[in-house]
């Protein structure tokens, strides 16, 4: 499955390079028109990141997000600094099909596990951003990649799998926003080790050949952001490759 992604700051479509707010590029003032385009070209799911909410939960863009959902027929999953159960409740209430939870899943696993149990595994996506060191250790980064946790991806998954975890969005940080291709070997390894998880690959897609490579890795979906914004290809072409 191809899942186009948009990152929002103050209602505008932007991209941060390697998660750095100081390296921001504005691509569009109208996210709705891009969502319509992606849906028209065949996307059934869309991925939205509220970067204002990620930085400061009191500035979550509920009004803009609600309007996007209300005027888009595609399913939308939303992330960006989810810190409280109210965030989950409010996003589901305005029509999000899935809520994407990142840092909190590492920092407070018992809390997030309770949400997984309460709202069901179809409603929760864990977003795990991975740093791979020289020894090949796959450690999770948190707080917009500004902090390194002491948690490996495998040890964290063992907490959630008994609760029926289904959806995991995994990003190799070194690949994000580079357009230099995905870490296919990472996704092959994870898909083989945890076939019960529907993996979403994220980061590095720059060409149609990158999609073909990821499609053969065992993941169930690939998130594509910058490449679509910069017209490297369109959604219809990406779906054909998939």
Instruction: Tell me which residues are annotated as active site.
Output: 7, 129
**What gap in Å lies between CA 75 and CA 37, rounded to an integer?**
14
């Amino acid at each position: 499955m191809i899942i186009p992604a948009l990152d929002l700051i103050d209602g505008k479509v932007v991209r941060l390079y390697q998660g750095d707010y100081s390296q921001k590029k504005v691509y569009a003032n109208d996210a709705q028109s891009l969502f319509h385009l992606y849906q028209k070209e065949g996307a059934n799911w869309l991925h939205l990141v509220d970067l204002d909410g990620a930085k400061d939960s009191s500035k979550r863009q509920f009004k803009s997000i609600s309007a996007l959902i209300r005027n888009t027929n595609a399913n939308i999953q939303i992330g960006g600094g989810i810190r409280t159960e109210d965030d989950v409740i409010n996003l589901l209430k305005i029509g999000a099909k899935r809520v994407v939870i990142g840092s909190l899943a590492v920092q407070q696993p018992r809390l997030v596990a309770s949400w997984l149990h309460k709202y069901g595994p179809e409603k929760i996506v864990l977003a795990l951003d991975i740093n791979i060191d020289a020894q090949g250790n796959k450690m999770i980064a948190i707080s917009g990649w500004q902090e390194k946790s002491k948690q490996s991806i495998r040890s964290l998954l063992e907490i959630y799998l008994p609760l029926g975890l289904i959806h995991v969005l995994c990003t190799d940080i070194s690949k994000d926003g580079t357009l230099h291709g995905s870490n296919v070997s990472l996704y092959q390894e994870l898909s083989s080790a945890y076939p019960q998880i529907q993996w979403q690959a994220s980061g590095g897609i720059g060409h149609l050949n990158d999609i073909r490579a990821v499609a053969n890795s065992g993941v169930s979906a690939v998130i594509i952001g910058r490449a679509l914004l910069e017209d490297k290809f369109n959604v219809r072409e990406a779906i054909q490759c998939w």
